[in-house]
Structure 1
């Protein structure tokens, strides 16, 4: 059993993962990414402490960048979250706080963990080359070839990060991010979920803001998918829960960017948060994979993440088993 933490801009999730059976148990709690370092680190400790103990285990920790994943040191500055962890040795802090003391800690980019999990169990299973984006506080992205994350590959953004690109000469997250959507909508009391509800109720302004935002994201992402040769794109994150509004706009933008995809609504059902094995008590993960359908033929596949948050948890556990022990921190 592999203990993991998945850290986002508004939450932290602790889980135990069995790479055959999936996520065995999970605890999710809110997290204030604008808090001071002690508060953030203590929140991670308290969430982790809610899990059954696994003495002598190595932990996997998935979190967004900028972060030095080898040294375990935060590089956050000017990104609107976790600024208090800039230059903080998060590995040392967690080794001190977690009980029983871990044998080591492996850090992995949250988008990399997400896509790795989706490659193992989700909607990009069976695709030789695929990509993933996470839509939450910011925009995360990753590209994978035969199960290996690509960070420096011809045709993809620097480090595989779409957030390092620009739209209309400005950083992408000035246009596509939680704070960008709220600012453009003009009501600071409304979160993205509220804006989505207003769009569903027929409010033209809310619909326009969301449609234009994700059309622009698709147009920016499309050429990279073409150059990389991706045949599938998995989309996850909290904003992706408004898939009925995100997918048509994203599909329009991807098509404009040259990446022709199939009907985004013909997607797999995503798992729901909660305790228990995400694949059911009567199937092991290997049995599920053996029965997976072949990749779609013809058009590329645009899909909401099947495993969703579980994908990042599974990807973090995968990193523990596939990283060299020297990179795991003791």
Structure 2
């Protein structure tokens, strides 16, 4: 590391990374550019994306992850950065999923060992990290460039997608413990109106709420992006469901944004694509919980996929 901030790589070869979500896996090579204002970049043409079905068998999921990894060939560093959602034991590579709507089949599976057996090229190990941490680390680095190293700035990143991811950053690196952050730095551990926050603001919760409000439970509800489109077309039920969900995120996270001393809230994930709907409701929830944060800088983090890939690479180089 350089000072107290983000590291530069010791190996000049590109870093191989996997970014795993509930519906996809992306493999890419990430290269450092230490003499330019933006120090990290995804190598052009290296990205491979594959669809995942979260309900597939463990073998099918692992085969798909390994196929994406193997597509990168051998011309790269041999330590992998792998970003994926929790609950997961990132130190041991063991899946801990249960009743979270994705990857339950990987509970008790040593993902690191199983992937290693499927790789068709030599490697020196895998460094796992939470996908929201990867996004936050990368978004911070890409938005600040080389100046991010050594900074003590406090920023919070939230991802809105299948679930709610988060990371609390000081100097561009995650803070995972202490009374200033939620348990593990994870906003999915927060509650809203006496229930887990994800019972209101996750993809499944929003779809269920819309189906219930329209009297269509038992049928396949539209996905969140389609509900957002309905809202823009004047569907008041869709508007009400989305506003409640995103305001709930603000209400639940506001007290920790204040305690942590956040100077910026960066938002990413698939739902952030509906920024015209997300931002006003999110700000309303934060302000209602903590009026002093009414002027908090809230930004839609650009280049979501690139940020997650860069964050995984930065993490690998931090620990090597």
TM > 0.5 between the two? Answer: yes
Structure 2 residue matching 1:80: 3-state secondary structure: coil
* Secondary structure in 2 matching 1:322: helix
In structure 2, what is the equivalent of residue 149 of structure 1?
Answer: 174
Distance 2:230 2:260 in 1: 37
- The 3-state SS of whatever aligns with 2:47 is strand
Superposition deviation, residue 55 in structure 1 = 5.5
Matched with 1:234 is: 266
Where does residue 22 of structure 1 map in the other structure? 41
Q: How many residues align?
A: 288
Could you give the per-residue CA deviations for residues 223-258 of structure 1, whole angstroms, max 9, x where no partner exists? 100010000011001111111111110011111121
1:85-234 to 2 correspondence within 5 Å? 85-122=106-143, 128-186=153-211, 188-234=220-266
Secondary structure at the residue paired with 2:225? helix
Q: Which residue of 1 aligns with 2:26?
A: 13
Other structure's SS at 2:201 match: coil
Q: 1:28: Cα distance to partner?
A: 1.6
Output the CA distance in 1 between the equivalents of 2:259 and 2:293. 15
Segments of structure 1 that go 5 or more residues without pairing to the other structure are: 263-298, 325-330
Residues of 1 paired with 2:123 and 2:272: CA distance?
33
1:292 is matched with none
Which residue of 2 is the match for residue 276 of structure 1? none
Shift of 1:36: 0.8
- The residue aligned with 1:82 is 103
Superposition TM-score, scaled by structure 1 size:
0.83
The residue aligned with 2:281 is 249
3-state DSSP of counterpart to 1:156 = coil
Q: State the alpha-carbon separation in 2 of the partners of residues 108 and 51 from structure 1.
A: 20
Question: Cα RMSD over matched residues?
Answer: 1.7
Q: Which residue of 1 aligns with 2:301?
A: 305
1:159-183 Cα deviation digits (max 9, x unpaired): 1111111111111111110000000
**2:58 is the alignment partner of 1:37:** yes
| 1:173-211 deviations in Å (ceiling 9; x for gaps) | 111100000000005231111111111111111111001
* 1:123–1:303 CA contact under 8 A, matched in 2: no
SS of residue matched to 1:16: strand
Residues 191 and 48 (structure 1), Cα distance of their counterparts in 2 relative to 1, 3 Å cut: same
**Counterparts of 2:110 and 2:267 in 1: how far apart (Å)?**
31
Bigger relative contact order, structure 1 or 2 (CA pairs below 8 A, ≥6 apart): 1
Task: State the secondary structure of the residue aligned to 2:26.
Answer: strand
Unpaired runs of at least 5, structure 2 = 1-13, 34-39
Q: 4+ residue runs of structure 1 moved beyond 3 angstroms?
A: 123-127, 259-262
Judge conservation of contact 1:5–1:313 (CA < 8 Å) in 2.
yes
Q: For residue 36 of structure 2, what is the aligned residue in structure 1?
A: none
Q: Secondary structure at the match of 1:122?
A: helix
